Amino acid sequence: MPIIIPRLSDPGNASVDERDEHLMLLEAARPSLDVEWTETLAAAEAAGDHNVMGYPSMVAYLKDRLGMAGGRANRYVRNARAGLKHEATFSAWKQRLISGDEAELMFQASEKLPDKYPEAENTLLELVGDGVDETRRILDYWRADVDLPGVKLDAGQQLLRRRFDVTGDRTG
C-alpha cells in the first residue's frame, strides 16, 4: 500500500508541531523508498538498462539522466549490486530488521572481505540491528578477527610494540 504524505505548503509558516510531525512522517517513509530505489536500481543494472539507453554504465546513466553527483551515483550502484549479491542482508533491510545505514555498512564489509562475508552473513545479521554505531563496532571486530589470518599479534607482541616518545623542541 503506498504511503501518502501531504505536502507542507509553507514550512516557514507552519507551527513547530506541524514541522515536527511532517519530518517524522517523511523519515518514516524514507526506508521504504530507499529499499524500493535500491531494488529498482539493482533490477535496472542487472537488465543492462543503461546500455539500452546508450550509457556506458549505470553510474553514467544516474549522473546524466538524474543529475546525480558521481560519488552518490557510485554509492547507489555499489549498494544495488551488493543487494543483489547478498540477499539475506538486503532482505533484512527490506523487512526493517536493519536500517539502510546498517545495510550500507554490511555491504561495505562484504566488499572488503568478499571471500569471508557470505559464510558470515547470517551470523552477522543476528548480531547487528541495534544502531549504526553498534553495527560498525561489530563489523570492525569481525573484520579484525577474520582479516589477515596468521598476521594478528598476540598480547605479548602487542605489548612489545607499544611505545611512547617524548621529544623536546627549541623552546624546551
| pLDDT tens by residue, 86-116 | 999 999 999 999 999 999 999 999 998 999 9
- For residues 56-83, average pLDDT: 95
Decide if pLDDT at 144 tops 90: no
Selection from 31, 66, 61, 29 nearest residue 44 by Cα? 61
What pLDDT score was predicted for residue 149?
A: 54
Decide if pLDDT at 29 tops 50: yes
What pLDDT score was predicted for residue 151?
A: 47
CB 128 within 8 Å of CB 134:
yes
pTM score of the predicted model: 0.74
Q: Indicate the domain borders of the chain.
A: 15-85, 87-150
